[in-house]
Amino acid sequence: MEWRDEALILSTRPLGENSKIVEVLTPGEGRAAGLVRGARSKTMRALVQPGNRVAATWRGRLEDQLGTLSLELIEARAGLVMDTAWGAYGIAAMASLLAFLPERDPHPRLYAAANALIGAFALPRAAGEAGVRFELIVLDEFGYGLDLGRCAATGDTADLVYVSPRSGRAVGRGPGAPYADRLLPLPAFLSRDAVCDAASLADGFRMTGHFLATHVAGLAGKPLPEPRERFVRAVVKAVAREDAAGR
């Protein structure tokens, strides 16, 4: 059998002297892996890099076997990944979260969010905000989407500053005040037009991390992936430096 699709390269690992197993994410085929022959050669090395957007052709005798991948470059973005700590950790975090999905399970929204996240790696603030939004879509695709548009208690859409750690629903400032120590902060950049600063970015990852740990990694009996924690630390630290320099 054979399929063709656009793809993002998520990760690679060597096999033999001159080949690699390459894991990709596609809009129509989901997460898939295949053998790329000659991937360690001088001519192929730059193409087979995490972050690059490629045209992928997968061939195999059976759908559940490894198969082979042929790749053609659409957009070289490995530099966005490797030039910064948050880029390198970010692509690894993305791959590790997507690994909780079954193979060959298409998620076009996740593909679009992953594509946007890689494109945002050039700037830490953009990368952080795109990272939080990517994780919200991961939760949604797993069936645990958060309702951040209106207050769970009153139905109001204004002044939303908390999230219930149980229901994943937003809570307004007034109704949530008596329970503030038991609620998660809702970062302002998700509920209204506000600057994504280091504090709100940390709040965003704390929020998504809570639900990812409970409903995604936890259901698999695993902790949150370490690359995700490193990405969060790197991007929040970089944004905090920018915030301090701008004062």
- pLDDT tens digits for range 47-67: 999 999 999 999 988 766 789
Cα 80 to Cα 28: distance, rounded to the nearest angstrom: 25
pLDDT at 216 > cutoff 90: yes
> In the chain, which ranges are continuous DSSP H helix?
78-82, 85-98, 108-119, 124-141, 173-176, 188-191, 198-212, 226-245
Model confidence band, residue 167 (pLDDT cutoffs 50, 70, 90): very high
Q: Give domain limits for the chain.
A: 2-76, 81-148+186-245
- Among 82, 60, 74, 75, smallest CA distance to 12 is for 82
Q: What is the pLDDT of residues 89-123, one digit of tens each?
A: 999 999 999 999 999 999 999 999 999 999 999 99
Identify the pLDDT of residue 200. 96
Would you call 169 helix, strand, or coil by DSSP? Answer: strand
**pLDDT score of 40 more than 80:** yes
- Its CATH class, for the domain covering 2-76, is mainly beta
Query: Residues 171-176: contacts with CB within 8 Å, 24+ apart?
Result: 175/151
